[in-house]
Structure 1
Amino acid sequence: MTVQIKTIDLAPKRHTFGHIARRLGEDKPASRYQEATFDIQATTNFHYKPLWEPEYWTYDTRKTTVVMQDWYKPLDPRQYYYAAYNIARANMNQAAERNFAFVEERGLLTKASESARGAIRRGLLPLRHLHWGSNMNMTEICQRGYGTAVTAPCIFSAGDHLGMAQYVSRIGLLLDNQTGSTLDEAKQTWLNDAAWQDTRRLIEDTFVERDWFHLFVAQTLGVNGVLLSLIYKNVESAWDDAGLTVALLTEFMNDWRAEESRWSDAVIKIVAAESEENKALVSGWAKHWIGRATEAAKPLSVALLNDGGTAAIAAGEAALKKAASLGLAV
């Protein structure tokens, strides 16, 4: 008796979902990112306009003054959708957990000098409030924005800021042996310390910006590009003998800044290149918020680094240079 094994090739009737095939073509297989991004947002058959903003539909391109023929053009170069994002963050979190375990087991922060610990309490812990404000901004962009290509990464970014606020809080808990007293102190520093008041005023001013892409520029080029860059880029020199320890605990933030900017820079570049009108609007917003962030960073630069504001000016110039590289007239 003989056994013959035969294989049969079955050609699929279609390679992807209909709404993706209409965009890419019937015979082109789509990636998971494309299937989770293109044309996911609802565009028709809304029941009624929101009572709190009756001049707009739930998803409405008029909620920003910039105009795009297709809001699915600003794709994420990281190609993050839910699964890919969570896998990437799980890997980054594992590295962060190892660093926290290393520092905690050896009591590295408690062995630091009192001056270094005081500098951390004043200069780093209030960032938990700035990250929380950034979380609110990215969530607002997600709910007011248009097109899943932009709004989905925004909610991922909101989750990142929440996670970083928690990391900063954990650094405070390591300083006070888990009592939480440093976090109460950080709140008062955020509310009352003169070095932080321009930063607090800036982030609170962004809360009332209704144009969601204007807010996107303020957050990514202003807050992320200047304020967060200033602090996380200078941690080793800011905290005296604890600088290397803090750098180890904030490694996630620096990795995140590089990764996040790949996406946010790509979005701004594509939107600004769509038309001269878009370029003029985005350029004006970028110049305004980078300027404001630079001024807000100067008191922090003086308080953290005692440098007369040099690091803040350098951070602002770097942000302007990056904005120019994105095609903006700043």
Structure 2
Amino acid sequence: MRRLHVSLDIKTNVIEPRRQTYSHVARRLGSDKPASRYQEGTWDLQATEHFHYRPTWAPDRELYDTSLTAIEMQDWYAFNDPRQFYYGTYTMARNKMMETEEANFKFVEKRGLLDQVDPAWVNKVKHYLLPLRHFEWGGNMNGCHASDRAYGTAVSQTLLFAAMDRLGIAQIISRIGLLIDGNSGESLDEARSDWLEHGNWQPLRQMVEDTFVLDDWFEQAVAQYFCMDSVIFPLVYDHFDREGARHNGAAMSMLSEFMIDWFADECRWVDQLLKVTASESAGNAELLGSWVENWTVRTIDALRPLAADVLGDGADAVLEEIDANIQARAAKAGIKAQGAGK
């Protein structure tokens, strides 16, 4: 039998794509060149014409309407999320954070670290931390409403991602409560009663409910993400946490690590959004300043009773420090606002 010797000459051909990206993205880039996943998954995705109907709840408006806020922008896509979050990158980032949080819960449970915390401090934690699950639900409501009415995918998707995060934080707080009470749920029932009835929580609860009925979605976003969050997260997860260290409360620090990392992540896009918006016009900057001033002062005043209960005589100094940090962030974004100590 004769053997045939066949030689193969393998070559590669480079196929040049007819276009590098979508035409609407290319127009923003200035030419047809490769775009990032964030750019393709964000820029000009929101419909701007050919709507089939007007919203039944506001027949004088369009489904996507720039007049739903007093803020005016020539281009609502001037804002770009510094984290470059579209759905894919957002879910991957949050999954990584939750893996760390799950590991912390397992470590605390395995080593029985909660048993080493001063029982009096555990009771304090039940009062100052667990009711915040209801605040987080409010944050979800505000984020969803603001996202629904926002203009431009760059802003609306960022608000929606933040809104979904609030449910995750509420679940973490609930799990801490269940860990404290041995999964009986009693601590969560007590937290609900505190949120609805205890005097320390009523100013904050009233303020959260007031934000629910804000007509301007941008003001709602400022109130929630720049003002209320910027007081509550440093106060509870930093200063209250430091106080807990004096009562062997390191386990609580591990269980709330997600919130510390999340707030740092949140500040990045919130500050950038305000900076871009304020730089658009003096009118925008003035309006943002009035919102920041109003809601920051209200938040600090609302949290004075709770801060005094946990920190005692040091509460006022801590709130002044938090207020100063908020004003510094606002100034860096080009916003002038007086703080609670005006």
Output the TM-score relative to the length of structure 2.
0.93
Answer yes or no: is 1:317 the counterpart of 2:328: no
SS in 2 for 1:241: coil
Task: Tell me the amino acid that sits aligned with residue 255 of structure 1.
Answer: D
> After the TM superposition, which of the residue ranges 118-127 and 221-230 deviates more from structure 2?
221-230
Answer yes or no: is 1:291 the counterpart of 2:285: no
Residue aligning to 2:82: 77
SS in 2 for 1:234: helix
CA deviations on 1:231-276 (whole Å, 9 max, x unpaired) are 1112433334242111111111000111110001000100010001
Q: How does 1:124-139 map to 2 (within 5 A)?
A: 124-139=129-144
Which of 1 and 2 has greater Rg?
2
Q: CA deviation at 1:300?
A: 1.6
Task: Tell me the amino acid that sits aligned with residue 278 of structure 2.
Answer: A
Partners of 1:107 and 1:244 in 2: CA distance: 12
Answer yes or no: is 1:103 the counterpart of 2:108: yes
Q: How does 1:174-213 map to 2 (within 5 A)?
A: 174-213=179-218
Q: CA deviation at 1:301?
A: 1.1
Q: CA deviation at 1:326?
A: 0.8
Q: 1:268 aligns with which of 254, 262, 274?
A: 274
Residue aligning to 1:250: 256
Partners of 1:308 and 1:80 in 2: CA distance: 37
Answer yes or no: is 1:152 the counterpart of 2:157: yes
Which runs of 5 or more structure 1 residues have no equivalent in the other structure?
Answer: none
Partners of 1:52 and 1:3 in 2: CA distance: 69
Residue aligning to 2:340: none
Q: CA deviation at 1:118?
A: 0.6
Q: CA deviation at 1:2?
A: 4.3
> After the TM superposition, which of the residue ranges 234-243 and 26-35 deviates more from structure 2?
234-243
Answer yes or no: is 1:44 the counterpart of 2:60: no
Task: Tell me the amino acid that sits aligned with residue 179 of structure 2.
Answer: L
Q: How many residues align?
A: 330
Q: CA deviation at 1:311?
A: 1.4
Task: Tell me the amino acid that sits aligned with residue 238 of structure 1.
Answer: E
C-alpha RMSD of matched pairs (Å): 1.3
CA deviations on 1:305-330 (whole Å, 9 max, x unpaired) are 11243212221221112111111011
Task: Tell me the amino acid that sits aligned with residue 324 of structure 2.
Answer: E
> After the TM superposition, which of the residue ranges 99-108 and 162-171 deviates more from structure 2?
99-108
SS in 1 for 2:83: coil
Answer yes or no: is 1:119 the counterpart of 2:124: yes
Task: Tell me the amino acid that sits aligned with residue 127 of structure 2.
Answer: R
Partners of 2:43 and 2:14 in 1: CA distance: 30
Answer yes or no: is 1:94 the counterpart of 2:132: no
Partners of 1:278 and 1:148 in 2: CA distance: 20
SS in 2 for 1:122: helix
Q: CA deviation at 1:195?
A: 1.4
SS in 2 for 1:186: helix
The answer on whether the counterparts of 2:240 and 2:310 sit within 8 Å (CA) in structure 1 is no
Partners of 1:114 and 1:37 in 2: CA distance: 49
Residue aligning to 2:229: 224
Identity of aligned residues (%): 44
The answer on whether the counterparts of 1:15 and 1:26 sit within 8 Å (CA) in structure 2 is no
Q: CA deviation at 1:25?
A: 3.7
Partners of 2:61 and 2:216 in 1: CA distance: 13
Partners of 2:331 and 2:272 in 1: CA distance: 13
SS in 1 for 2:49: coil
Partners of 1:63 and 1:229 in 2: CA distance: 31
Task: Tell me the amino acid that sits aligned with residue 254 of structure 1.
Answer: I
Partners of 2:9 and 2:148 in 1: CA distance: 59
SS in 2 for 1:162: helix
Partners of 2:30 and 2:295 in 1: CA distance: 41
Deviating beyond 4 angstroms after TM superposition, the runs of 4 or more aligned structure 1 residues are none
The answer on whether the counterparts of 2:71 and 2:218 sit within 8 Å (CA) in structure 1 is yes
Residue aligning to 1:168: 173
Task: Tell me the amino acid that sits aligned with residue 319 of structure 2.
Answer: A
Output the TM-score relative to the length of structure 1.
0.97
Answer yes or no: is 1:143 the counterpart of 2:130: no
SS in 2 for 1:220: helix
